[in-house]
Chain A
């Protein structure tokens, strides 16, 4: 459980950390979209360089990113295998029923590996360098235009930040409940699938009970401090677009242009 990097913010004094979270969010999205247009090694090389450059600019230990990829390695491997065995086209190396290994299939599998890895790297960079509260502020700010169509932007942002805020709390809670049940003789990780599912119940029910209690306490505490919804509420953390954001945006736009040039010309 501790290995999970999701929502783990690592404070640093770096270029990336001082960027506007909106810029980081939008650029990460842009990166993920652009990578789906990649169809040759030059593009992948360029995008790898951009990703590594961004990571370098964040001053976060690269080992952490590797740790972020490792838990997902099986999903990547599985996707690659599907590509290798079901991919068609190019030179045929081996065939057995519906399975076939072709040169194009292998190439696609390699592409997928790089693509997956880069997407994980860039999204890990976003979550490691941006605190959850900044991310939800950024989402709120980006969704602002939707207020015109009466979309409850503020409430959604609040829900999001509360949810993010309680992820670590709930994880701690899960761990302490698991410990209590293990101390009462539950052996997680043994038994067949039905037995294993049954063992989840003594964790899930206490977890739900405490989550509901916590929600109620939180609501009471907010009300007691005179909380009222969106309109007229000022912000403690103001989002400011700075020179760093412009620089980063230019680099990413340049990357996008080059990728499209390499792809279509």
Chain B
């Protein structure tokens, strides 16, 4: 499912002293089946952008096309529900949205709102909790008894249970330990491959961008300042540093090597690529020595 932005602007509290232009004339397209990473430092407009993806916010000017539904500032708040089912958003610290007395009810909350019967929703809850890697026995526990990582997974299961086509993730791994981070990211990529999800990921972990994304949007001051494949975006390390953004550790490593006189055809993005490049470098050197 594709989502298209056509010169979208959004202003918070217009015509007051608190007026704030969060988005400025944004135009982009999130392709069906793509894995888009959205990067930019705090206050660049990422969260506002996300909330346009399922019409939680409507553009002050411009249009958002969610599949074939057009959203403008005139769109009425009714009939947005089908859109919200198609685009699931996992907000930052999603465990904050848990409220039900059992895990099962919480996961079933989304599907029931979208018209599933309690039985169907219950089945979905069971399926989803397994999908996020938690034991089924947790279903009857209170979500507030769980550990932070488990709560995060339950909340994610609650969004997955809506069976959306597009999955929007706002820093889903913030505050998790490295292994938890890896597991959650792995879950999302395997979902994307097996169920043909479209994924939009907001993150500060450039390794995740390099490893998983095929489309990167860089935002600054409510504008898209760069867009393209990860390799294109990460090619200009200095430019990104200038925007107070990181590059993957491997790219940074290679970049430092370049400064010291080494040569890379193109900067590596992942550890594997870096290792391969360095190995090739040694091979070449040995050959020229012989």
Report which A residues bind B (CB closer than 8 A): 2, 8, 10, 61, 64, 67, 173, 176-177, 179-187, 189-190, 201-206, 209-210
**A179-B56, A184-B158, A202-B109 are contacts. A64–B17 as well, Cβ < 8 Å?**
yes
**A64-B16, A184-B159 are contacts. A206–B96 as well, Cβ < 8 Å?**
yes
How many angstroms from the CA of A203 to the CA of B98 in the assembled complex? 9
B51 contacts the other chain (Cβ, under 8 Å)? Answer: yes
Q: Are the CB atoms of A183 and B88 closer together than 8 Å?
A: yes
Min CB–CB distance A77 → chain B (angstroms): 24
Q: Are the CB atoms of A185 and B96 closer together than 8 Å?
A: no
Min CB–CB distance B17 → chain A (angstroms): 6
CB contacts (< 8 Å) of B18 on chain A: these are: 2, 8
Q: Are the CB atoms of A183 and B54 closer together than 8 Å?
A: yes
Q: Other CB < 8 Å A-B pairs besides A2-B18, A202-B97, A206-B96, 16 of them?
A: A2-B12, A8-B18, A67-B16, A176-B91, A179-B51, A182-B56, A182-B84, A183-B56, A184-B113, A184-B158, A184-B159, A185-B113, A185-B162, A187-B81, A206-B99, A209-B144
* 6 A-B pairs with the lowest CB-CB distances in the bound complex, closest first: A185-B113, A180-B97, A205-B99, A184-B110, A183-B89, A202-B99
Give the residue name and chain of the B residue nearest to A2 (CB): B13
- Majority DSSP secondary structure for residues of A touching B: helix
Pull 23 A–B residue pairs with CB atoms less than 8 Å apart, ordered by A: A2-B12, A2-B18, A64-B17, A67-B16, A176-B96, A177-B96, A180-B91, A180-B96, A183-B88, A183-B91, A184-B84, A184-B110, A185-B85, A185-B110, A185-B113, A187-B81, A190-B78, A202-B99, A202-B109, A203-B99, A204-B99, A206-B96, A206-B99
Partner of B17, one of A10, A202, A210: A10
CB contacts (< 8 Å) of B77 on chain A: these are: 189
CB contacts (< 8 Å) of B16 on chain A: these are: 64, 67
CB contacts (< 8 Å) of A8 on chain B: these are: 18
CB contacts (< 8 Å) of B264 on chain A: these are: none
Partner of A206, one of B54, B56, B89, B97: B97
CB contacts (< 8 Å) of B84 on chain A: these are: 182-185
Min CB–CB distance B87 → chain A (angstroms): 8
CB contacts (< 8 Å) of A61 on chain B: these are: 17
Give the residue name and chain of the B residue nearest to A179 (CB): B56
Binary interface encoding of chain B residues 125-161 relative to chain A, with 1 for a CB under 8 A from any of its CBs, else 0: 0000000000000000000100000000000001100
Binary interface encoding of chain B residues 101-128 relative to chain A, with 1 for a CB under 8 A from any of its CBs, else 0: 0000000011001100000000000000
**A2-B12, A176-B91, A209-B144 are contacts. A184–B17 as well, Cβ < 8 Å?**
no
Interface-central residue, B16, B78, B85, B162, by most chain A CB under 10 Å: B16
CB contacts (< 8 Å) of B100 on chain A: these are: 202
Per the CB 8 Å criterion, the residue count for chain B at the interface is 30
**A64-B16, A206-B99, A209-B144 are contacts. A186–B88 as well, Cβ < 8 Å?**
no
Instruction: State which residues 22-57 of B face A: CB under 8 Å.
Output: 51, 54, 56
Give the residue name and chain of the A residue nearest to B13 (CB): A2
Give the residue name and chain of the A residue nearest to B168 (CB): A183
B94 contacts the other chain (Cβ, under 8 Å)? Answer: yes
Q: Are the CB atoms of A183 and B17 closer together than 8 Å?
A: no
Q: Are the CB atoms of B12 and A184 closer together than 8 Å?
A: no
Instruction: State which residues 162-215 of B face A: CB under 8 Å.
Output: 162
Q: Are the CB atoms of A201 and B99 closer together than 8 Å?
A: yes
CB contacts (< 8 Å) of A204 on chain B: these are: 99
Give the residue name and chain of the B residue nearest to A187 (CB): B81
Interface-central residue, B51, B77, B96, B99, by most chain A CB under 10 Å: B99
How many angstroms from the CA of A13 to the CA of B277 in the assembled complex? 61
Min CB–CB distance A117 → chain B (angstroms): 20
Min CB–CB distance B157 → chain A (angstroms): 12
Interface-central residue, A64, A173, A186, A204, by most chain B CB under 10 Å: A186
Min CB–CB distance B160 → chain A (angstroms): 11
Partner of A177, one of B85, B97, B110: B97
Give the residue name and chain of the B residue nearest to A180 (CB): B97
Instruction: State which residues 56-100 of B face A: CB under 8 Å.
Output: 56, 77-78, 81, 84-85, 88-89, 91, 94, 96-100
Give the residue name and chain of the B residue nearest to A199 (CB): B113
How many angstroms from the CA of A177 to the CA of B98 in the assembled complex? 9
How many angstroms from the CA of A177 to the CA of B109 in the assembled complex? 14
CB contacts (< 8 Å) of B17 on chain A: these are: 10, 61, 64
How many angstroms from the CA of A8 to the CA of B97 in the assembled complex? 27
CB contacts (< 8 Å) of B159 on chain A: these are: 183-184
Min CB–CB distance A208 → chain B (angstroms): 9
Give the residue name and chain of the A residue nearest to B93 (CB): A176
